[in-house]
């Protein structure tokens, strides 16, 4: 499932995100959602979240 819809993402879910520094390469970082930062119901590049370890990025995959 892609991470473009806010309603599909809940705190505690395992996701893969792209960090700002990795946007050129598209390298994914796995983690658990702590906070959802995007307020709009959808975003074409992925909903922005904060992981439990503090990293921030846009969701590309929901596990």
Environment class of 21 (CB within 10 Å of its CB; exposed 0-12, middle 13-18, buried 19+): exposed
C-alpha–C-alpha distance, residues 48 and 10, integer Å: 12
User: Strand 48-51 vs strand 14-19: parallel, antiparallel, or unpaired?
Assistant: unpaired
* pTM for the predicted model, two decimal places: 0.92
Whole-number mean pLDDT of the chain? 96
The CATH number of the structural domain formed by 6-62 is 2.30.30
18-41 pLDDT per residue, tens: 999 999 999 999 999 999 999 999
Domain assignments of the chain as residue spans, ordered by start: 6-62
User: Length of the chain, please?
Assistant: 63
């Amino acid at each position: 499932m892609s991470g473009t819809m806010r309603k599909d993402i809940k705190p505690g879910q395992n996701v893969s995100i792209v960090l700002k520094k990795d946007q050129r390469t598209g390298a994914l970082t796995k983690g658990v959602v702590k906070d959802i930062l995007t307020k709009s119901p959808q975003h074409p590049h992925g909903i922005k979240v904060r992981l439990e370890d503090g990293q921030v990025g846009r969701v590309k995959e929901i596990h």
